[in-house]
Structure 1
Amino acid sequence: MGSLQTPQTVEDASMPANWLGLVSCPSQFAFGFRAVWLSMNSSLVLVFKFLVAMAEAVEEVRQHIRVTVVLGTRKNSYRYNTECGFIFYKKDMRGDTLRLECINRKIGCHCKITMRDGVFTQNGAHNHDAQFEEQHRAAAVNECLDLARAPRMGRQGPKRIVEIARSVHREARIALNPALERRIQREKRSNQPLPPTSIDDMMESMAYHPE
């Protein structure tokens, strides 16, 4: 007759030896369970702190800002200057939302602004420094064009007009280059009366513009 073997219990077959040791010693099992619980709580706290930090970062990127709309340096164009020194152009209008994009979008700046109900909200961050110098330069250029259109400046040449613009916008660095001179002359011509096409027109022109 063969030797008798001790039957293996269900618990012995399904539970690892280390768990059997914990079961056999309730105090060790309680200590292990507590360690696992504390580890899980610590992980949850870290995850919560990470989510809070992410939310704060998003809030910093999405912020309400003050914007001033000014004439652009190109004809019939507008610029949107922020008080922190950045410049935006209009991208499009979707419903009641105006969308703007950074003037440096072509060199990789993806910062955008949306305007709804008169509130400007910035989305994203710039990858370049503020552009206060360009804001001042553009203001001085527009000052030159305004002066060129003024009838009282009819006898003043481009050089004098630039000097006056510099005195108004002292922060601007502006020079009378050929492109600016052409724009000033073009604005001066646009303010002049059309050449007379008849004797009556000629007499009227001489009466109002004897020079």
Structure 2
Amino acid sequence: MRCLNEEIARKANREDECKGAFWEGRFKSQALLDEQALLACMMYVDLNPIRAGIADSLQSSDFTSIQERLNALSSNSVTPLSTQPPVDNTQPLPHKPLVKFDGATHLHQQTGIPFHFADYLELIDWTGRAIRHDKKGFIDNQRPKLLNELGIASDAWLLLAKEFRRQFSGISGRWDAMCAFKHKQGGKWCRGKSHSQALHPEQTNGLTLH
């Protein structure tokens, strides 16, 4: 990241014929130890413009990957999410693993990150509407499929979407994995236990419930 930042700063300074740092502050490194942490971080980054109040929708969030993916969906004439039938949250969910997702617009292209693009799009659309400044406190009763599959509470998820970077100190994931990672790095203290448990509701006090 230091090399990347330096190169961008040098190019910007040449273009503007000036000197000095290009970025406002230092970058922050965050270790993401599992899929839940990865999903929360992706959501936090993709919703930056909406959370900052400089965009009111995903489609108007310029220079974001989610806008590019939505444009790809539109150009490929994929059925919009809003036209899909609503999920019946009263029915039990089938126990099947999340499929892989790397941002591709079609299922056969997906590799890497274990989420359907359609499910991710549903979740980010729902989250973006809920954290808009003109709709404070709004939580739609229609919970996204991914929240149901992962068992994450709506209010806990919305807090993560707004304050993910502040809730953890360089590590996010299951609490026991966070502690092990910190110990391996030579540290003795972790921050974010309650937020880790909210993101992984199957764990209590660092232990897995069976």
Task: Establish whether TM, by shorter chain, passes 0.5.
Answer: no
With the length of structure 1 as denominator, give the TM-score of the two structures: 0.23
Larger radius of gyration: 1
Greater RCO, CA 8 A, separation 6+ = 2
Normalization by structure 2: what TM-score?
A: 0.23
